[in-house]
C-alpha cells in the first residue's frame, strides 16, 4: 500500500480510482496527479483501476484526492485501520471497492433491463398495422407510456453516463461517457419532442418515429457489458486476493512458558511459534526444533513438499503437512516474504508496458475524432444524401456507440495484470510491465555458474594444509572467518566445519573482497580466504604443490587460506550441475539464443561444468566489475542480454543487463536488483519466465489487433448504415469483455516444472 521506492525518493502508493471507463480517463487522471506539487511520477492502469505514484513526504493525500476529484474521478484513500495495521496487505480497501462496484452494476443492469425489455417489445410490435389495430391504446398514449418507461432508465441506471458527460464538459474534454450520453440523449430528446411537441419537429401526433427503445436498450446493453467486464477484471487481478488468502489470521505463540492463541498481527520478531500438522505457517521464521514436510507450492511453485528441520527457514503462508515444529519468528507483518510478494505483484500490476505509450497517444485523440466522424456522418446523410432527419440521426448515434475506447485501453494492462498474477502463483515474480516486455526480446542469456547452473551447494573435497596448522584447526579458523558469508563456497566451508563438530566463533569484523574472497579478523588474526587473485593482491605466494595441481586440473575450485600474511592451506571444493540445467540450455540453443557462462571461478572448474551442461562460450576468472563490463559489451554489440545469477558478486552484472533474473536461493541484494525473481532455485524457472513473457506479448498483440480492427471496421459500417444503434451497443459492450477474457487465457499457463 505504502512503501519507499528503491529507485526514487519518497513514498510509493498504489490507490484505487473510481469512475474510469476508457483510455482517455487514464490520461486525465495521470495529468491531474502529475500536476500536484510533490508527486514525482504517476501512472494509471485501467484494468486494475489503480493509480501508482511516488510523492515526497510533505505531500498530503487529501490534496491528491482533491486533484483527482477535480478531474472528475474519485481516488480512494486508505482507511485509517488499514494505514495503522502493519499486517494489512495492498488492496485490502480495493477489494471492498470492487465488490461494491460489481453489486451496483448488477443492480443497475437489472433495473435497466427490466424497463428496456417492454419498451423494446412494444416498439417492435407497434410497427405492425395489425398489432396497432388490436392494441387497446392509441399511439399517443403508447408513446407516452414508452416515455414514462424509458426516462427512469436514463435518470437512474444510466445517470453514470450523463454525470460523466457533464464532468467532461466542464473540463472541455470527452470520453466514453460522452459517446454514450450524446448517443442515447439524442435518441431520448428527439423521441420526447415527438411525444410532447411533435409539431416542432414536423411530426404528426402519435407518430411511430420514436426511438425510446434505442436509448433504453443501448444503456441496458452497455451496463451488461460493464458488469461482465468488471467481473472479468476482478478475475484478472484476483491473484493478490489468492495470495492474501494464504495468510493465517491467528498464531500459536509460546510466551513465558504458556501457549497463547494470538492474532497474527500481535506476533513479534523473536517469538517462539508452535506449529501442528496441517496448519498454515503464520510468519517467516527459522526452525528451533522438530522435523516436518512443508508444502511451499503456493509460494515457490515447487510441487513437492520440502523437508524442514532445525535451522531451516520457513515461509509464512506455506502449509505444514505432517510433523510438529517450533520456530523463531524472524519476520512479521509487512516484512514477510508473502507481504513482499503481494507488494511486488501489486506494483507490477499497476505498471505500464512501453507499448502502452502508443495506445495512450491514440486514446488522447480517439473520442474527439469519433465525435467528428459522427457529426460528419449525420451531415452527409441528411444534407448530401437527402435522408430523413431520423435516419441520419440513427447513423449518427450508431457511430458514437460503436466506437470503443475501452477495448483499446484494456488491451495491454489486462494482459499484464493476468500475466503478473499468474507468474506470482507459479514462483515467478516480475518487477514491472517493462521487464515483462523486454523479456520477450532476449537474444543472449548470460549465466553465473555457482548456484545458477549448479546446485549451489558445493562440498569440501579435501583440506590441504600448506603450513604448520593442522587440518581441523585450519577448518575451525576458516569456518569462523566465513560465518557472516552468504556465498555458497563460504557456506560450504561452514557446513563442513559444523559436520566435523568444530566450535565456530563470529569474527570481530568481516568484509567481502569483491570477486575474490573475504577478509575476517578473529581476535588478533587477519584471515584471508579466497582465490589465487586474492592471494596475489596481498602479495602472498602460492607454492607449486602437486595436490593443488591435481585438484585444479580436475576442475575443482580452490580456496586459499592465509593467516596474518602467511599461506596456511587450501580447500578443494566441487559443485554439481542442477538436474535441469543441461535440458534448459539445450532448449535455448535450439531456439537460436546465445548462452554464455560468466563466472569468477577458475577456467578448469568453469569448463568442467560447462561441458556437462552443454555451454560452449565460457568466460572464467571474472571479478564483479568485469562481469558487468562483459554484459555491457554484449549490449553494445546490439544484443538483448538477460543476466541470471544468485550471489552478491552478480549484483553489478544484474544491474547492467537488459533483463536481470535472480534465482530464489540468492541474496537480498541480488533480488533487489533483479527485474524477475524466481522463488525456486531451478533454471527451468528462467525458461518459464521467458515463455510467460512471450505468451503475454502474444496476448497484447492479439488484444491490440482486435481493438483496432473492431474500431476500424465497426465505425465505417455504422456510418454507412449497416449497423443499427442497438447492434452497435451490443458490439461495443462485449468488445472490452472479449479483450479481458482473452487475457484471462494466460491463467492456463503451465510451467515446465509443474
Least reliable range by pLDDT among 164-178, 452-466, 632-646, 655-669: 655-669
Q: pLDDT, tens digit, for every residue of 90-133?
A: 555 666 777 788 899 999 999 999 999 999 999 999 888 888 88
Read off the C-alpha cell for 246.
494464504
- Residue span of the structural domain in which 433 resides: 428-453+578-694
* Contact (CB, 8 A) for 240 and 91: yes
Q: pLDDT, tens digit, for every residue of 625-655?
A: 889 999 999 999 999 999 998 755 677 888 8
504 and 611 assigned to the same domain: no
Catalytic residue among 271, 284, 448, 688: 448
487 and 551 assigned to the same domain: yes
**φ and ψ at 594, to 5 degrees?**
-80, 130
* pLDDT the model gives residue 88: 52
619 and 681 assigned to the same domain: yes
**CATH code of the domain covering residue 279:** 2.70.150.10
206 and 228 assigned to the same domain: yes
Q: Nearest Cα to 285, choosing from 318, 243, 249?
A: 318
> CA gyration radius for the chain?
33
What CA–CA distance (Å, rounded) separates 468 from 474? 10
Residue 460: inside a domain:
yes
Read off the C-alpha cell for 560.
586459499
What CA–CA distance (Å, rounded) separates 217 from 515? 70
Indicate the residue among 47, 63, 87 that finishes a domain: 87
What CA–CA distance (Å, rounded) separates 610 from 612? 5
| Helical spans, DSSP H, in 637-724 | 651-656, 668-673, 684-719
**Whole-number average pLDDT of the chain:** 88
Burial 168-177 (b: 16+ CB within 10 A, else e): beeeebbbbb
Coil, helix or strand for 584? Answer: helix
What CA–CA distance (Å, rounded) separates 432 from 350? 8
* Contact (CB, 8 A) for 218 and 113: no
Q: pLDDT, tens digit, for every residue of 511-539?
A: 988 778 999 999 889 999 999 999 999 99
DSSP label at 102?
A: H
Indicate the residue among 42, 68, 87 that finishes a domain: 87
Place of cell 506449529: 275
Indicate the residue among 215, 246, 277 that finishes a domain: 246
Helices 725-744 and 684-719: crossing angle in degrees, nearest 10, is 180
441 and 583 assigned to the same domain: yes
Residue 587: inside a domain:
yes
Q: pLDDT, tens digit, for every residue of 384-430?
A: 999 999 999 999 999 999 987 788 888 999 999 999 999 988 889 89
Residue 316: inside a domain:
yes
2 confidence band (pLDDT: 50, 70, 90):
very low
Coil, helix or strand for 523? Answer: coil
What CA–CA distance (Å, rounded) separates 665 from 652? 18
Place of cell 443492469: 109
Residue 83: inside a domain:
yes
532 and 597 assigned to the same domain: no
The 3-state secondary structure of 200-222, one letter per residue: HHCCCCCCCCCCHHHHHHHHHHH
* pLDDT the model gives residue 6: 40
Residue 347 known to be catalytic: no
614 and 625 assigned to the same domain: yes
4 confidence band (pLDDT: 50, 70, 90):
very low
* Contact (CB, 8 A) for 72 and 66: no
Phi-psi region of 603 (alpha: psi -120 to 50; beta: other; left: phi over 0): alpha
Residues pairing with 285 in the sheet: 314, 329
Counting other chains too, the contacts that 242-245 makes at CB distance below 8 Å and 24 or more residues apart are 242/425, 243/298, 243/317, 243/338, 243/341, 243/342, 243/345, 243/424, 243/425, 244/89, 244/91, 244/92, 244/342
157 and 224 assigned to the same domain: yes
Place of cell 544468485: 646
Structural domains counted in the chain: 5
Q: pLDDT, tens digit, for every residue of 571-629?
A: 999 888 988 999 999 999 999 999 999 988 888 889 999 999 999 999 998 888 889 99
Angle formed at CA 459 by CA 457 and CA 462, multiple of 5 degrees:
160
**CATH code of the domain covering residue 546:** 3.40.1110.10
Q: What would the mean pLDDT of 540-556 be, rounded to a whole number?
A: 90
Place of cell 457533464: 166
What CA–CA distance (Å, rounded) separates 328 from 571? 33
Amino acid at each position: 500500500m505504502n512503501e519507499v521506492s528503491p529507485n526514487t525518493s519518497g513514498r510509493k502508493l498504489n490507490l484505487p480510482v473510481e469512475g474510469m471507463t476508457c483510455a482517455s480517463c487514464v490520461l486525465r487522471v495521470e495529468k491531474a496527479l502529475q500536476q500536484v506539487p510533490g508527486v514525482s511520477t504517476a501512472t494509471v492502469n485501467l484494468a486494475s483501476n489503480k493509480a501508482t505514484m511516488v510523492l515526497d513526504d510533505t505531500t498530503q493525500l487529501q490534496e491528491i484526492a482533491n486533484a483527482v476529484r477535480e478531474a472528475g474521478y474519485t481516488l480512494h484513500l486508505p482507511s485509517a485501520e488499514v494505514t495503522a495495521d502493519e499486517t494489512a496487505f495492498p488492496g485490502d480497501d480495493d477489494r471492498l471497492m470492487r465488490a461494491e462496484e460489481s453489486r451496483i452494476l448488477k443492480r443497475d443492469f437489472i433495473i435497466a433491463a427490466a424497463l428496456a425489455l417492454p419498451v423494446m417489445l412494444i416498439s417492435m410490435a407497434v410497427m405492425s398495422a395489425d398489432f396497432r389495430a388490436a392494441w387497446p391504446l392509441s399511439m399517443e398514449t403508447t408513446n407516452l407510456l414508452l416515455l414514462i418507461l424509458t426516462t427512469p432508465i436514463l435518470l437512474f441506471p444510466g445517470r453514470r453516463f450523463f454525470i460523466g458527460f457533464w464532468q467532461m464538459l466542464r473540463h472541455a474534454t470527452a470520453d466514453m461517457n460522452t459517446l454514450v450520453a450524446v448517443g442515447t440523449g439524442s435518441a431520448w430528446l428527439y423521441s420526447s419532442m415527438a411525444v410532447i411537441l411533435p409539431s416542432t419537429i414536423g411530426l404528426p401526433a402519435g407518430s411511430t418515429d420514436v426511438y425510446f427503445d434505442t436509448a433504453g436498450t443501448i444503456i441496458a446493453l452497455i451496463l451488461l457489458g460493464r458488469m461482465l467486464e468488471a467481473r472479468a477484471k476482478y478475475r484478472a487481478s484476483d491473484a493478490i486476493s489468492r495470495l492474501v488468502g494464504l495468510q493465517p489470521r491467528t498464531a500459536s505463540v509460546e510466551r513465558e512458558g504458556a501457549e497463547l492463541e494470538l492474532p497474527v498481527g500481535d506476533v513479534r520478531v523473536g517469538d517462539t511459534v508452535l506449529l501442528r500438522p496441517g496448519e498454515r505457517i503464520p510468519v517467516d521464521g527459522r526452525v528451533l526444533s522438530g522435523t516436518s514436510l512443508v508444502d511451499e507450492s503456493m509460494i515457490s511453485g515447487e510441487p513437492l513438499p520440502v523437508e524442514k528441520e532445525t535451522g531451516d527457514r520457513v515461509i509464512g503462508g506455506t502449509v505444514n503437512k505432517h510433523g510438529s515444529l517450533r520456530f523463531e519468528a524472524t519476520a512479521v507483518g509487512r516484512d514477510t516474504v508473502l507481504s513482499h510478494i503481494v507488494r511486488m505483484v501489486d506494483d507490477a500490476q499497476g505498471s505500464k508496458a512501453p507499448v502502452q505509450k502508443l495506445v495512450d497517444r491514440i486514446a488522447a485523440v480517439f473520442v474527439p475524432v469519433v465525435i467528428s466522424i459522427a457529426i460528419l456522418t449525420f451531415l452527409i446523410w441528411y444534407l448530401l444524401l437527402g435522408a430523413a432527419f431520423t435516419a441520419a440521426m440513427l447513423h449518427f448515434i450508431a457511430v458514437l456507440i460503436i466506437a470503443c475506447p475501452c477495448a483499446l485501453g484494456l488491451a495491454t494492462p489486462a494482459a499484464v495484470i493476468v500475466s503478473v498474477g499468474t507468474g506470482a502463483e507459479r514462483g515467478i515474480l516480475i518487477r514491472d510491465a517493462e521487464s515483462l516486455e523486454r523479456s520477450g526480446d532476449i537474444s543472449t542469456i548470460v549465466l553465473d555458474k555457482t548456484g545458477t547452473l549448479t546446485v549451489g551447494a558445493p562440498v569440501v573435497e579435501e583440506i590441504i594444509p600448506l603450513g604448520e596448522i593442522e587440518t581441523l584447526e585450519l577448518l575451525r579458523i576458516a569456518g569462523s572467518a566465513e560465518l557472516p558469508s552468504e556465498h555458497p563456497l563460504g557456506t560450504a566451508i561452514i557446513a563442513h566445519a559444523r559436520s566435523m563438530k568444530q566450535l565456530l566463533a563470529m569474527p570481530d569484523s568481516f568484509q567481502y573482497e569483491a570477486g575474490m574472497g573475504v577478509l575476517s579478523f578473529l581476535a588478533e588474526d587477519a584471515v584471508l580466504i579466497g582465490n589465487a587473485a586474492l592471494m596475489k593482491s596481498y602479495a602472498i605466494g602460492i607454492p607449486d604443490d602437486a595436490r593443488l595441481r591435481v585438484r585444479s586440473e580436475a576442475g575443482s575450485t580452490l580456496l586459499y587460506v592465509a593467516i596474518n600474511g602467511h599461506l596456511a592451506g587450501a580447500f578443494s571444493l566441487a559443485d554439481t550441475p542442477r538436474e535441469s540445467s543441461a535440458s534448459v540450455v539445450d532448449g535455448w540453443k535450439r531456439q537460436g539464443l546465445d548462452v554464455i557462462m560468466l563466472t569468477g571461478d577458475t577456467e578448469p572448474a568453469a569448463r568442467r561444468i560447462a561441458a556437462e551442461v552443454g555451454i560452449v562460450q565460457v568466460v572464467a576468472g571474472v571479478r564483479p566489475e568485469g562481469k558487468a563490463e562483459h554484459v555491457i559489451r554484449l549490449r553494445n554489440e546490439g544484443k538483448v542480454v538477460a543476466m541470471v545469477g544468485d550471489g552478491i558478486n552478480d549484483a553489478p552484472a544484474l544491474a547492467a543487463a537488459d533483463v536481470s533474473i535472480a534465482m530464489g536461493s540468492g541474496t537480498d541484494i541480488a533480488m533487489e536488483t533483479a527485474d524477475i525473481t524466481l522463488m525456486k532455485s531451478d533454471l527451468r524457472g528462467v525458461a518459464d519466465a521467458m515463455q510467460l513473457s512471450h505468451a503475454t506479448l502474444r496476448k497484447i498483440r492479439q488484444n491490440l489487433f482486435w481493438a483496432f480492427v473492431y474500431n476500424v471496421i465497426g465505425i465505417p459500417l455504422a456510418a454507412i448504415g449497416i449497423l443499427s444503434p442497438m447492434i452497435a451497443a451490443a458490439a461495443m459492450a462485449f468488445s472490452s469483455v472479449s479483450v479481458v477474457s482473452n487475457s484471462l487465457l494466460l491463467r492456463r499457463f503451465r510451467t515446465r516444472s509443474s
